[in-house]
Amino acid sequence: MSNTKYALWGSALLRRMSMSVLPKAYLVLSVSILILSACGGGSSTPSNPADNTTDTSSSSSSSSSSNSSNSSSGSALSACNDGIDNDGDGYVDWQYDLGCVNANDDEISGTLAEENGFTTFDVGNDSKVIYVSSSQGNDINDGLSPATAVQSLSRGAELLRDGENDFLLLRRGDTWRGETLGRFISGKDADHPVVIASYGSQTNRPRLEIDQNFIDHNGRVRNNVAIIGLELISYPKIPSDSAYDGESGGGFRYVGEAATC
Ligand SMILES: [Ca+2]
Ligand SMILES: [Ca+2]
């Protein structure tokens, strides 16, 4: 599985590596979840903060997940595992507060060094947070809470605002097949990106089974996009998949302005 993910990212990269510099959007992505980071968290594959508690599906090195075994039932009570909204942002513990690296963290987002190499985010006062669940959502909902999640990724993306510090949160344990985000949108700035991450008490990452590019900017300018802790599978390249053809599939396609970091 992890090989698949590497191949997926590799193919996305190869299509773009003729550039002498990496696109800004890509760099943001790489800090968040990718392997080949030029800045930030080194060569690891940071996973979703919550996943770091127990997830075993992540590729590679991410999970020095040995701080893992401290699951929510662990003995040490922490700000990310006490059932309290300690930082007052409206989000409680590792299941929902993106400032938590794991169940033993605090709820406030810190630097990579402070967060054990993982990228965390605090939801801004002016952020809009949209929840998406393939198993429990409905596209007639407003998406503004886990209880009123929308179902499709495209509907979730429609509810976000371009150029803002908004969040698209996918329910962990859910799977979407054949869905994409199309050209998607940009965030506000490097410190306030649009974020695609996850939520909920499940420990498996949201699984995205794709057969074309999950995001394809397709000629539009896109910047400041952060993607954390998703499992992306290019299913036509999975031999055990009924739609296997070994050739088609997808990844990400971004071309952006050069950035330094
Ligand atoms: Ca808490
Ligand atoms: Ca909180």
123 Cα–ligand 1 center, Å: 15
Tell me the pLDDT band of 74, cut-offs 50, 70 and 90: low
Is 139 among the domain residues?
A: yes
pLDDT of residue 217: 85
**Ligand 1 center–CA 229 separation, angstroms:** 20
Indicate the number of domains in the chain. Answer: 2
Query: Residue 102 falls within a domain, yes or no?
Result: yes
In a domain, 90, yes or no: yes
Q: In terms of domains, do 114 and 101 share one? A: yes
pTM value?
Answer: 0.73
Expressed as residue numbers, the domain containing 134 is 124-174
Q: Residue 108 CA: which ligand is closest?
A: 2
Q: pLDDT tens for residues 20-36?
A: 223 333 333 332 333 22
Phi/psi at 69 (5° precision): -55, -10
Same domain, 140 and 118: no
User: Could you report the per-residue pLDDT of 84-104, keeping only the tens digit for each?
Assistant: 999 999 999 999 999 999 999
CA 9–ligand 1 middle distance (angstroms): 34
Q: What is the pLDDT of residue 35?
A: 25
* Spatial separation of the C-alpha atoms in residues 72 and 95, rounded to whole Å: 10
Whether 8 is covered by a domain: the verdict is no
Shared-domain flag, residues 112 and 159: no
Residue 107 included in any domain: yes
74 & 95 share domain:
yes
Which ligand has the minimum distance to the alpha carbon of residue 120?
Answer: 2
Evaluate whether 197 touches 32 at the Cβ level (below 8 Å). Answer: no
143-184 residue pLDDT tens: 999 999 999 999 999 999 999 999 999 999 999 999 999 889
Domain membership of residue 2 (yes or no) is no
Predicted local confidence at residue 55, as pLDDT:
36
Q: What is the pLDDT of residue 259?
A: 58
Range with the largest mean pLDDT of 22-26, 139-143, 210-214, 239-243: 139-143
Contact present, 208 and 232 (Cβ < 8 Å): yes
List, as one string, the DSSP characters of 72-136.
Answer: TTSSS--TTSSSS-TTSSS--HHHH-TT-SSTTS-SS---TTTTTT----PPPTT--EEEE-TTT
Same domain, 87 and 100: yes
What integer pLDDT is reported at residue 75 of this predicted model? 61
Last residue of a domain, one of 86, 104, 122: 122
For residues 162 and 133, state if they share a domain: yes
Q: Tell whether 98 is covered by a domain.
A: yes
Q: Which ligand is nearest to the CA of 81?
A: 1
Residue 150 lies in a domain: yes
CB 119 within 8 A of CB 101: no
Same domain, 155 and 170: yes
Per-position b or e across 65-89, b if 16+ CB within 10 A of its CB: bebbebebebeeebbbbeeeebbeb
Q: Are residues 107 and 71 in the same domain?
A: yes
Q: Ligand 2 centre and the CA of 107: distance in Å?
A: 5
